[in-house]
Amino acid sequence: MASSCSCNSGNFKAASFHPNKPLAPTPSHLLPTSKPSQLASLSLRLNQNPSQTHFRKSKAVPGLQVVASGQKGEPLRVMISGAPASGKGTQCELITKKCVLLSCFVTLQYNLVHIAAGDLLRAEVAAGTENGKRAKEFMEMGKLVPNEIVVMMVKERLSQQDSQENGWLLDGYPRSESQATALKKFGFVPDIFILLEVPEEILVERVVGRRLDPVTGKIYHLTYSPPETEEIAARLTQRFDDTEEKVKLRLLTHNSNVESVLSLYEDQIVKVDGTLPKEEVFSQIDSVLTELLAKKGAAFGSLAA
């Protein structure tokens, strides 16, 4: 179940909101002033249907009227792409964990199901399955894993109930024209295709210094995001394909396929500068997704005194 945020208040003014601008901090004179016993909180999902809106009085704060939705609307379908180490995983984590305070009573969540084709593949490799063994051969050569191995895994995950009900965030896939064509054939078309752009020299530096904590699954970087303790540092491992030689092969493969993939999603592409700090990258992505939700008629929720 997705987590939610709440804020306690009795006297407040709803925050102003524009889909193309990050939300500004709440001014000090609008911060909560009531006692805890008087307080109420509400969390709304972004994929609710405004046509099913109903009103109810707040028991905790007399006179407060909350506009909430009774049914889900059409969920978001998002693809995020970029070269290895362009920051896809980081942004996906920020998107799936988003919980933004619109006012002291309303919070927003995207609630998307994060699906990473790379993780699906690595799980097969780690499990030593037949598909995993075949995939590892191609991964070690820096080549794309054959479609017959990957496409069905991705299709099955996108078809599961949580992905269908909540929407999905497809991370790093499709990587070739044939993969994109196969997904379209199965009926999986994104509302938006986010492309993170990062120069090759920065990508190589990011990959070579990347390390994995096998206990927590957290990704570190020896320069930009070092481990918190010596104990963690001692157990870090490097993925077998995170060497300079391997990453350059992967980049060559990526560059030879990316244009053909982009041509199939040219109406849905949004390009983002992946060299910016992760918070700034997310702010741009967040604004685009919020605007898209507004256009799809999703209910953010509103308050009336």
Active site residues: 88, 175, 210, 239, 250
Quick one: CA dihedral 124, 130, 131, 132, positive or negative?
A: positive
Residues written for the chain: 305
Strands, E assignment, 172-221 = 192-197, 210-212, 219-221
Contacts of 195 (CB under 8 A, 6+ apart): 81, 82, 262, 269, 270, 271, 272
Of 74, 75, 53, nearest to 65 by C-alpha is 53
Calpha distance 286→94 (Å, rounded): 9
Q: Which amino acid is at 189?
A: V
Q: How many CA atoms lie within 13 A of 303 on its CB side?
A: 24
**What is the DSSP code (8-state) at residue 265?**
T
Of 75, 104, 100, nearest to 4 by C-alpha is 100
Tokens 């391997």 — which residue?
246
